[in-house]
Amino acid sequence: MRVLVLGAGAIGGYFGGRLLQAGRDVTFLVRSRRAAELHAAGLVIKSPHGDLVLRQPPTLLAENIREPFDLILLSCKAYDLATAIDAVAAAVGPGTVILPLLNGMRHLDALDERFGKSKVIGGLCVIAATLDAQHAVVHLNDTHTLTFGARDGAQSDALRAIAETLGNAGFDARQSGEILQEMWEKWVLLATLAGATCLMRASIGDIMAAPGGEALVLGLLEQCRRIAAATGYAPRPAFLERARAALTMKNSPLTASMLRDTEANAPVEADHVLGDLLRREQALESEARALSPLAIAYAHLKAYEIRRARTLEAARHARG
């Protein structure tokens, strides 16, 4: 399969780089600045599973797309989704499959509207990775899993081809017959983790050491669980057991990447991860829960976004 990876950041760079290392036909769709970086320094990956330098990996600018690709790996942040959709549009042909790795569920609606539901499968990844100051991809732990599947659970020739392309490529690739269930469960866990650690500006271990910290985290988890269940995707008991254990572990350094983004004064996915859950809850329940833990955490992140936008605008005016 001809694979187009949108971006060469932490997620796209890692999985795309491993695919390229394994001999797959991979091209990175990037902006001109990132293309120049990759041309000069290569795609650098630092990982417990082995470091890697890919010299001059294949890159492509959106305006230079001339033919469709078989598989598009969409690894952008939610706040860049509209731009990403426009960027990959010329690469989508009659047989193209789009595999998004975004958190939450709202991106599926946007992709379906633009390209049609038949072209968009479900997907998620579990990996802790970031870009360092030199724009190398730094893999922070041992986990590097990419899960995909048809949203109706059906098998197809296209999915078999994707499984063959992603398999044995230096990371854990898995096809799921219940991909929407797994996406919802990841969303429940992520929203709880992001809501708690961003609201408290602390790791799980520090929150557990604070008076009322465990009750706050478990309250968030229960609210997110209830929303998922009301939507038809009740988290399974084994998942909830693992989630409670991870989210209440004493001395745990665990934080959400959204907290790291906040501390770096970077954009955050508040609307996609927390806000969309709240909108679904409000659509399901006649009485809004204005002071729920999730609503408070969302308001906290929106206040951060408002302050950040105001500060950036003031800096632009100051520069003239």
Domain residue ranges of the chain, discontinuous segments joined by +: 2-176, 182-318
CATH number of the structural domain 182-318: 1.10.1040.10
pTM of the model: 0.93
* pLDDT surpassing 70 at residue 288: no
Strand order through the sheet with 2-6: 59-60, 25-29, 2-6, 71-74, 97-100
How far, in Å, CA of 33 to CA of 81, rounded? 19
Average pLDDT of the segment spanning 257-271? 94
Torsion, CA 7, CA 183, CA 223, CA 113, rounded to 10:
70
How high is the pLDDT of residue 286?
54
8 Å CB contact between 44 and 136: yes
Task: Decide which of 3.40.50.720, 3.40.50.1950, 2.60.40.10, 3.10.129.10 is the CATH code for 2-176.
Answer: 3.40.50.720
How high is the pLDDT of residue 265?
95
* pLDDT surpassing 60 at residue 220: yes
* pLDDT surpassing 60 at residue 120: yes
